């Protein structure tokens, strides 16, 4: 049985031949069609090899990029990808010479040989061979992780502390991962991915079941859509966070949480590491824990960064376009809190309504309406249950009519279960609910006041059905 099937475009045959030689030299059995004997039925032999393989390697080189009409190669790629996906096998896209990865292969962690020659080429081939043979390797560069659609999430064998950092902070991120690992805590980062993994599926899986999510906060992290998505994914699943400030300002999505100070460039000190261990053990045991009781705030006050409204709305638009509805819901709450300078507290008071720009409310509403054919958004909500005086009894009416509760006396579940109630109900989103506040006893009152404040401002701005 072949351990790996090697697919390529004919114009990239010479380079692929060198790759096959090096993979074979490092102990990997590879099916390479140039080894077929005269008289072998080409189609039958290739089909059988694809059925027998335990991994797929697809080479995307300059030759293929310049010859989009190589129908044979594209058919071979399609058959190999389908076989690997159906059987849960590694599928490793390989690029060289600056060639791009086609959209259909961007759901997989890839290996870029670039213009490597000599020993550099051999080292990359050896690492790929060891990966497919199941041996330990150094992992993949952070920049080779791309966006992809979500996948079904199943619990990993071991729940871990997940460390999130931008590629620009990779050096510090790796040292932080090593520090946590040496302390005896199971730890995971994108560096743990291997060629052939379905990276977005793997990342979301780890975040869903993380015990604690450690976010390295920096200017690069603030600008990273990937870090934003990781934070939102963790918040959706109700994970505990330990933000670590490397430089710049605190991340706006974590502005109301305690944080560890690493601005000197050093790793977590013993105290912070012990606190991380307490959070990890509490999560494993299922014991409720308030992060404020575990993580002391540094003596130095550092503001959270201000994100321009245009950037926040663009992130909201992208989340809605990708059908990440819960992410969009959390983003909507955050952008309104930020506009009112209330990120640190996580909720809105009545007097904060004046700080909400009418243009921002209209812009957010328009995005929700466009993504849902008018079924979601603030105008849809006011059409279903208008608020006039801002009394708490009006919140009970609104929350019942929007499907947030089945009756006025029902206990509201945690955010993730709550968001799953939507089921296409008109007006359900945005909820303006902040799951990070739910560790506090008065979170329900904070949510109530936030909703009443926003809807009172909607009335003032004329954002009504």
Q: Can you tell me the distance from the alpha carbon of 463 to that of 457, in angstroms, rounded to the nearest whole number?
A: 9
In the predicted structure, residue 91 carries a pLDDT above the cut 70:
yes
What lies within 8 Å, CB to CB, of 263 at 6+ separation is 245, 246, 247
pLDDT tens per residue across span 377-424: 999 999 998 888 767 888 999 999 999 998 878 888 888 888 888 877
What lies within 8 Å, CB to CB, of 407 at 6+ separation is 400
Residue intervals of the chain classified under CATH 3.40.50.10140 are 4-138, 161-294
Closest CA to 27 of 168, 175, 127, 144: 127
Query: How many C-beta neighbours within 10 Å does residue 239 have?
Result: 20
pLDDT tens per residue across span 264-284: 888 788 888 988 998 899 888
In the predicted structure, residue 331 carries a pLDDT above the cut 70:
yes
The two three-digit tokens of residue 9, written as one number: 């475009």
Instruction: Output phi, psi for 291, to 5 deg.
Output: -60, -35
In the predicted structure, residue 16 carries a pLDDT above the cut 60:
yes
Instruction: Assess contact for 381 and 398: CB atoms under 8 A.
Output: yes
CATH of domain 161-294: 3.40.50.10140
The least confident of 129-133, 152-156, 199-203 is 152-156
CATH of domain 4-138: 3.40.50.10140
Q: For residue 64, what pLDDT is reported?
A: 78
- The residues with which 112 forms a beta bridge, in sequence order, are 95
* pTM confidence score: 0.60
> Using alpha carbons only, how large is the chain's radius of gyration in Å?
26
In the predicted structure, residue 30 carries a pLDDT above the cut 70:
yes
Q: For residue 1, what pLDDT is reported?
A: 43
What lies within 8 Å, CB to CB, of 405 at 6+ separation is 399, 412
The two three-digit tokens of residue 271, written as one number: 């105290």
Q: Can you tell me the distance from the alpha carbon of 195 to that of 58, in angstroms, rounded to the nearest whole number?
A: 12
- The residues with which 304 forms a beta bridge, in sequence order, are 250
């Amino acid at each position: 049985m072949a351990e790996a099937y090697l697919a390529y475009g004919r114009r990239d045959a010479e380079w692929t031949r060198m790759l096959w030689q090096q993979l074979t030299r490092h102990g990997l059995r590879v099916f390479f069609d140039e080894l077929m004997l005269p008289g072998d039925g080409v189609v039958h032999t290739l089909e059988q090899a694809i059925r027998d393989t335990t991994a797929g390697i697809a080479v995307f080189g300059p030759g293929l990029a310049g010859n989009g009409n190589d129908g044979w190669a594209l058919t071979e790629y399609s058959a190999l990808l389908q076989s690997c996906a159906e059987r849960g096998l590694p599928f490793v896209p390989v690029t060289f010479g600056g060639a791009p990865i086609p959209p259909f292969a961007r759901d997989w962690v890839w290996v870029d040989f670039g213009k490597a020659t000599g020993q550099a080429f051999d080292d990359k081939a050896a690492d790929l061979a060891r990966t497919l043979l199941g041996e330990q390797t150094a992992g993949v560069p952070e920049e080779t992780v791309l966006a992809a659609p979500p996948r079904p999430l199943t619990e990993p064998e071991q729940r871990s502390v997940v460390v999130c950092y931008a590629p620009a902070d990779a050096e510090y991120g790796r040292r932080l991962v090593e520090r946590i690992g040496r302390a005896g805590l199971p730890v995971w980062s994108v560096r743990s991915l291997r060629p052939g993994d379905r990276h977005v599926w793997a990342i979301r899986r780890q975040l869903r079941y993380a015990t604690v999510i450690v976010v390295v906060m920096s200017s690069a992290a603030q600008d990273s859509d990937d870090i934003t998505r990781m934070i939102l994914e963790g918040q959706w699943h109700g994970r505990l966070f330990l933000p670590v400030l490397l430089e710049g300002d605190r991340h706006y999505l974590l502005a109301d949480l305690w944080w560890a100070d690493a601005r000197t460039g050093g790793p977590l000190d013993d105290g912070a590491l012990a606190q991380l261990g307490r959070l990890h053990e509490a999560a494993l045991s299922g014991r409720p824990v308030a992060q404020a009781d575990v993580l002391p705030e540094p003596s130095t006050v550092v503001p959270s960064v201000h994100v321009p409204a245009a950037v926040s709305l663009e992130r909201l638009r992208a989340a809605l376009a990708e059908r990440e509805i819960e992410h969009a819901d959390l983003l909507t709450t955050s952008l309104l809190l930020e506009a009112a300078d209330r990120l640190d507290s996580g909720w809105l008071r009545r007097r904060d309504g004046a700080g909400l720009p009418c243009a921002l409310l209209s812009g957010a509403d328009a995005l929700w309406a466009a993504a849902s054919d008018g079924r979601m958004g603030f105008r849809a909500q006011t059409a279903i249950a208008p608020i006039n005086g801002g009394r708490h009894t009006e919140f009970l009416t609104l929350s019942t009519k929007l499907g947030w509760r089945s009756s006025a006396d029902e206990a509201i579940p945690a955010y993730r279960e709550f968001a799953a109630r939507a089921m296409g109900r008109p007006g359900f989103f945005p909820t303006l609910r902040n799951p990070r506040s739910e560790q506090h006893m008065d979170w329900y009152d904070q949510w109530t006041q936030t909703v009443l404040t926003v809807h009172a401002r909607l009335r003032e701005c004329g954002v009504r059905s």
